[in-house]
Amino acid sequence: MVSRTAVVLMIGLLGMVYQATQLRPPQRDSPPGNSPRVRLSDGRYLAYREKGVPKNKSKYKIIIVHGFGSSKEMNFLAPQELVEELGIYFLLFDRAGYGESDPNPRRTVKSEALDIEELAEQLQIGSKFYVIGVSMGSYPIWSCLKYIPHRLAGATLIVPVVNYRWPSLPQNLIREDYRRKLVQLALWFSNYAPVLLHWWVTQQWIPSTSVLEKNPLFFSPQDIEILKKIPGFPMLSKDRLRQQDVFDTLRRDFITGFGDWDFDPIQLRNPFPQNESSVHIWQGYEDKVVPFQLQRYISGKLPWIQYHEVPHGGHLIVHYSGLCEAVLRALLLGEEPLKLEQVRP
């Protein structure tokens, strides 16, 4: 049974994803910042940044996809020694509407993969590349596996969100999951009462993100320790949420990620039958956002995906010491991660 406080808190968090659907966010005619951008075939711009070794000297090229309320400025804590030793080039970009990228009013699951493919084409990073998606940034990775597997050298999903509308999820696992019920509630408000939701999430009596970040309903003790060291979720502050373009971006991302898809990931066939590429899921056992039971079920139905579970990990394991190195070694070198219990904040 979910308490009234828990419902208000979750709605306060999930409700931050929506504003009025009737208004189209303004198209940005010039870059709003200093980041380089590419112009896509539909006229939108995507902003990006590059890290690691120079592209022309790299052996491995990896596109990193940020999550909900984040941006290309996210931290991916890869040890510099490993990056230089292996010759890794990282490409991070602002997904549609985030950061310095233009919004996409027609955002779909498929458009996320096509944005990644076109970005790779324009920056000439090669015929194949690796992709890593974090949390909400995982649904673009599922999309890549569905629509552009021929471009992938490998893929990793870190604490990937699970869409409760996927037909293959067993009812006995999700029927009583309070997260499912609250996502359904947030979707209903998003579709049928957007004005009320907009008013609701910007009221002073709704808990701020700083309160949410301390709530054990959403974050494990390890996650709360991490939140003491990182900026948290500044995009979800009330001041930012009052901005039309911020609301629209979060709303479209949420609706796309948790709405109806045109494919069921659990029914995907192995896109790499010759084992020419590898796919990985990384999950925290103590994740309060995505239950480990669901990730175990999904990876069990997709034996071509390698599943890694961090014993003391929450939803923010990407910030834990040693996790990013383990992710890279498994993805690029095929090394089996050892002693995951040592991966901690």
pLDDT score recorded for residue 34? 87
- Rounded to whole angstroms, the Cα distance separating 303 from 283 reads 16
Token pair for residue 12? 């306060």
Q: What is the CATH number of the domain that holds 299?
A: 3.40.50.1820
Whole-number Å distance between alpha carbons of 218 and 235: 18
Residue 203: what pLDDT?
A: 64
Q: Residue 118 above 70 pLDDT?
A: yes
Q: Report d(CA 38, CA 15) in Å as an integer.
A: 31
CA-based max dimension of the chain: 56
Mean per-residue pLDDT over the chain, rounded: 84
pLDDT surpassing 50 at residue 1: no
Q: How many domains does the chain have?
A: 1
Judged against a pLDDT cut of 80, whether residue 123 lies above it is answered with yes
pLDDT at 66: 96
Is the confidence at residue 88, as pLDDT, over 80?
Answer: yes
pLDDT score of 173 more than 70: yes
pLDDT exceeds 50 at position 69: yes
Classify the C-alpha dihedral 309-312-313-318 as positive or negative.
negative
pLDDT of 198 > 90? The answer is: no
Does the pLDDT value for residue 23 go beyond 50?
no
298-344 pLDDT, tens digit per residue, is 999 999 999 999 998 999 999 998 999 999 999 999 998 766 655 66
CA distances from 227 to 4, 230, 293, 345 (A): 25, 5, 25, 10
Q: Work out the average pLDDT over 108-133.
A: 98
Tokens describing residue 179: 């997260």
pLDDT at residue 114 tops 80: yes
| Of residues 200 and 62, more confidently modeled | 62
Higher pLDDT, residue 225 or 199: 225
Q: Which residues of 247-270 are buried (b: 16+ CB within 10 A; e: fewer)?
A: bbbbbbbbbbbbeebeeebbebee
Q: Name the range with the highest mean pLDDT among 14-23, 50-59, 248-257.
A: 50-59
Domain residues for the domain of 222 are 1-345
Give 28's pLDDT tier (boundaries 50, 70, 90): very low
pLDDT at 178: 84
DSSP β-bridge partners for residue 37: 47
For residue range 203-231, list pLDDT tens digits in order: 665 555 554 556 667 788 888 888 888 77
What's the pTM value of the predicted model, to 2 decimals?
0.87
Mean pLDDT (whole number) for 159-167: 96
Q: Give the residue, 196 or 56, on which the prediction is more confident.
A: 56
Q: What dihedral do alpha carbons 297, 77, 100, 202 form, nearest 10°?
A: 60
pLDDT confidence of residue 336: 80
Instruction: Give percent above pLDDT 90 in the chain.
Output: 61
Mean pLDDT throughout 58-66? 98
Per-residue pLDDT, 229: 82
Q: pLDDT tens-digit profile of 127-143?
A: 999 999 999 999 999 99
| Residue in 209, 253, 203, 201 with CA at minimum distance from that of residue 232 | 209
Number of neighbours of residue 47 by Cβ within 10 angstroms: 24
pLDDT at 180: 87
Query: Which band of pLDDT confidence, cut at 50, 70 and 90, is reported for residue 6?
Result: very low
pLDDT tens string 229-280 = 877 666 666 677 777 778 788 888 988 999 999 999 999 999 998 887 899 9
Distance between CA atoms of 134 and 120, rounded to whole angstroms?
19
